[in-house]
Structure 1
């Protein structure tokens, strides 16, 4: 998988501002039927550090 930068340091897959999840899932944010920019999306792969 290519290098994926991530600034969400609260995620357990984040190591030194890089994502190490085995796969990435991104979805539209909320009830949107159409994303216009990155603010309209969210990372479904997020897993809080525990």
Structure 2
């Protein structure tokens, strides 16, 4: 998988500002279509314990 930068340091998959999840899922943020990144959300987020 290519390198994916992530600034959400509260996510368990974030290691040195890179996502290390085995799979990434991105969905729309409460809309039927997205035209910019603000209208999307990362469903892969897992809070650090």
Per-residue CA deviation, residues 9-34 of structure 1 (Å, 9 max, x unaligned), is 0000000000000000000002x001
Alignment length (residue pairs): 49
Task: Name structure 2 gaps, 5 residues minimum.
Answer: none
Superposition misfits of 4+ residues, deviation over 2 angstroms: none
Give unmatched runs, 5+ long, in structure 1: none
Q: What is the distance in 1 between the residues matched to 2:33 and 2:44?
A: 20
Normalized per residue, the structure richer in strand is: 2
* TM-score normalised by structure 1 residue count: 0.96
Provide the alpha-carbon RMSD of the alignment: 0.3
Q: Secondary structure at the match of 1:27?
A: strand
